[in-house]
Amino acid sequence: MNPSIRAILITVFITAGFGSPASAQFGAPSSLSFSNMNAYLSIQKNAAMVRETQTRLDSINRRNNSDRSAQTTARAQAQTAPQTSFSSSPQRLLVTQFSQSLSNDPTIVSQLNETFIGGFTAFEQEAQRLGRPNNVAMAFTYLVGVCYMVHYGEEPSETALMNLQANVDAAFGSSATFKALNSQERQKLYETFVLMATLPLAGYTVATEEKDQELLETYRSIAGVSLETALGVRPDRLRFTATGLELR
């Protein structure tokens, strides 16, 4: 990890209105400076669809967690006939916009762009390995998995994440609003999820490498906010088991 990233991330908080990382306090998502970030606003533009998907996902998770054959069927469907894939543009659609929402300093924006592009590269290599390239459900699952790991310090199993991906694919795929999105709109949603995962992951990496507990707590808080934004429930109600995501 580039040593300058820590300084960049601290500057990000000051610029975005968080105050110093050590003293940042977080309440409900609607009250956070984080809600002013363009990535967050991108989700809010599809707020009704996201709420619909959250409800459907909870129902699908509950059903499939209790029925192994149903989960197996969902995974096969997500692999052979994914419902949330899209044809990607040769260019990123939101990276620069997202970086500019974090800082007005052109140098910092450039360095943030590099960090986020690196995040996309790492994520997309893994998505390709798992057979889920250019897939909104995979990006959503990445966001949930990363933020759960950062918030709780526990990494979900690959099986649990792939089961969640299948369920997310079904949840988004059953939404008439999502079905109506064109490839560019789907790519923006996809990029939103990856960007919202990359920021806390970068901060978590810096904080753990440098053993900075205060910075770590700050990014744990951000990850918790992102989990609540994505899933519509408090993080303390979420639990990854060996096979999937459950609500307590």
pLDDT in tens, 101-136: 777 888 888 888 888 898 899 999 999 999 999 999
Residue 30: is its pLDDT beyond 50?
Answer: no
Among residues 104, 99, 136, 105, the alpha carbon closest in space to that of 118 is found at: 99
- Share the mean pLDDT of the chain: 82
pLDDT in tens, 177-215: 999 999 999 999 999 899 988 888 888 888 888 888 988
Mean pLDDT, range 78-98, rounded to an integer: 93
Residue 27: is its pLDDT beyond 60?
Answer: no
Mean pLDDT, range 73-95, rounded to an integer: 95
Mean pLDDT, range 2-8, rounded to an integer: 50
pLDDT for the residue 207: 84
> What distance in Å separates the CA atoms of residue 170 and residue 83, rounded to the nearest whole number?
7
* High-pLDDT (> 70) share of the chain, %: 82
Q: What is the DSSP string of 58-74?
A: HHHHHHHHT-HHHHHHH
Residue 247, classed as helix, strand or coil, is: strand
For residue 93, what is the DSSP state? S
Mean pLDDT, range 24-53, rounded to an integer: 52
Considering only the C-alpha atoms of the chain, give the largest distance between any 2 of them, rounded to a whole number of Å.
53
pLDDT for the residue 240: 94
Query: Would you tell me how many other CB atoms lie within 10 Å of the CB of residue 235?
Result: 19
pLDDT for the residue 13: 45
**pTM, full prediction:** 0.85
